[in-house]
Chains A and B, each alone.
Chain A
Amino acid sequence: KNQVEQSPQSLIILEGKNCTLQCNYTVSPFSNLRWYKQDTGRGPVSLTIMTFSENTKSNGRYTATLDADTKQSSLHITASQLSDSASYICVVIRNTGGGNKLTFGTGTQLKVEL
């Protein structure tokens, strides 16, 4: 079964600290993996897109890693800011005969506090 599991479900950290969010998937055949940030009351915004051959990709203070062998990805946030408080959703895309299919993770709710 094609599934995407994220951990932790929720996380509270102090401003300025680093954190790492995890995404494990069983989706096959794998096409690419994306991390989205969704602020409360807003639509998701793409942070990174990882293809099979990419191990690490950065976008400012966000760094995503991908291990296609173990089917794991992580999103590392450096020097967190209050504005990082949001839901972070991992989405894995598989390539079927009729096009790409997206499988969404359940998200990690991050709260950054003073």
Chain B
Amino acid sequence: DTEVTQTPKHLVMGMTNKKSLKCEQHMGHRAMYWYKQKAKKPPELMFVYSYEKLSINESVPSRFSPECPNSSLLNLHLHALQPEDSALYLCASSQGGGEEWGQPQHFGDGTRLSIL
């Protein structure tokens, strides 16, 4: 079992739906990440939160909206997604925050998202 928990494991939604992906870790890590991974491709960084503040947004479309309610939780709110957004969405955390982000990352098992 991974120490980073993601829910739901699978999600099917229409293009007009609003849904949220959730990520939780209790390792005391201060940096949390969202990645998007297409089939047979490496993960692509979307967002980085460091000490609960958004520090990196890799030019992600506004239909993806991250939220970090506290140091253990990370959400990704989805609205008006496109079929090309279908992918595995991975959450990760690492011990350091601030300039230390990027230290060994612990990944969750992802949410498999399908957009109809």
**CB–CB A100/B109 < 8 A:** no
**CB–CB A46/B105 < 8 A:** yes
Interface string of B90-116 (1 = CB under 8 A from A): 101000001111111111111010000
A93-B102 contact, Cβ under 8 Å, with A41-B109, A43-B2, A43-B107: yes
Which residues on the B side are within 8 Å of A49 (C-beta)?
104
Residue on A with the closest CB to B31?
A99
Q: Max chain B CB contacts within 10 Å: which of A43, A87, A109?
A: A43
Contact with A99, one of B90, B101, B104, B108 (Cβ below 8 angstroms) = B101
Which residues on the A side are within 8 Å of B112 (C-beta)?
41
Q: In angstroms, how far is the closest chain B Cβ from the Cβ of A15?
A: 23
B28 at the interface (CB under 8 A from A): no
**CB–CB B99/A102 < 8 A:** no
Q: In angstroms, how far is the closest chain A Cβ from the Cβ of B50?
A: 8
Which residues on the B side are within 8 Å of A31 (C-beta)?
102
A106 at the interface (CB under 8 A from B): yes
Measured in the bound complex, the distance between the Cα atoms of B92 and A98 in whole Å is: 20
Which residues on the B side are within 8 Å of A105 (C-beta)?
42
Q: In angstroms, how far is the closest chain B Cβ from the Cβ of A12?
A: 16
Contact with A106, one of B42, B100, B106 (Cβ below 8 angstroms) = B42
Q: Which residues of A contact B (CB under 8 A)?
A: 31, 34, 41-46, 49, 87, 89, 93, 98-102, 104-107, 109
